[in-house]
């Protein structure tokens, strides 16, 4: 499932931009590839992040995967529910399973992100391999 209105990275993160705040998570494709999520290491609130820098780690029964920030800015909130219920990412990766919120400091970082159609075509390329 790919949600219209979100922005995506080629590392399979998504960003929901509302004003200067981007809510960040991993895509449905990413959570399906990872399998059952068993642990999430969240960033600290107040952390300054750059676009493409590691902000979190998601561990599944298959592997651990670094999560990268799609934007440059400061972490303003984290989804602490994931500490006790990491499976929220599997159940609802685009809503209840969000990872953090970032106050965007440099909106030019948004220019490198894919829209829903571009991401759909990008992921489609994996299915053909």
| Residue 31 three-state SS | helix
pLDDT for 123 equals 92
The rounded mean pLDDT for the chain is 94
Q: What does pTM read for this prediction?
A: 0.93
Nearest residue to 6 (alpha-carbon basis) of 21, 23, 20? 23
pLDDT for 128 equals 55
Portion of the chain with pLDDT greater than 90, in percent: 88
Which is more confident, 129 or 39?
39
pLDDT for 38 equals 97
Please report, for the chain, the start and end positions of each structural domain, with discontinuous segments joined by +.
Answer: 7-120
pLDDT for 20 equals 95
pLDDT, one tens digit per residue, over 92-105 is 999 999 999 999 99
- Yes or no: say if 61 and 87 are a contact pair by the CB < 8 Å rule: no
> What are residue 66's DSSP bridge partners?
57
Architecture of domain 7-120: Beta Barrel (2.40)
User: How many Cβ atoms are within 10 Å of 122's Cβ, its own excluded?
Assistant: 16
pLDDT, one tens digit per residue, over 56-94 is 999 999 999 999 999 999 999 999 999 999 999 999 999
Nearest residue to 51 (alpha-carbon basis) of 24, 66, 69? 69
């Amino acid at each position: 499932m790919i949600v219209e209105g979100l922005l995506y990275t080629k590392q399979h993160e998504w960003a929901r931009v509302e004003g200067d705040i981007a809510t960040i998570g991993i895509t449905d494709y990413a959570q399906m590839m990872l399998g059952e999520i068993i642990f999430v290491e969240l960033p600290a609130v107040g952390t300054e992040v750059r676009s493409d820098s590691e902000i979190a780690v998601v561990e599944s029964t298959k592997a651990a995967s670094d999560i990268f920030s799609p934007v440059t800015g400061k972490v303003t909130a984290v989804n602490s529910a994931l500490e006790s219920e990491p499976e929220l990412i599997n159940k609802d990766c685009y809503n209840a399973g969000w990872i953090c919120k970032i106050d965007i400091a440099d909106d030019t970082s948004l220019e490198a992100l894919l829209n829903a159609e571009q991401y759909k075509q990008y992921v489609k390329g994996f299915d053909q391999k």
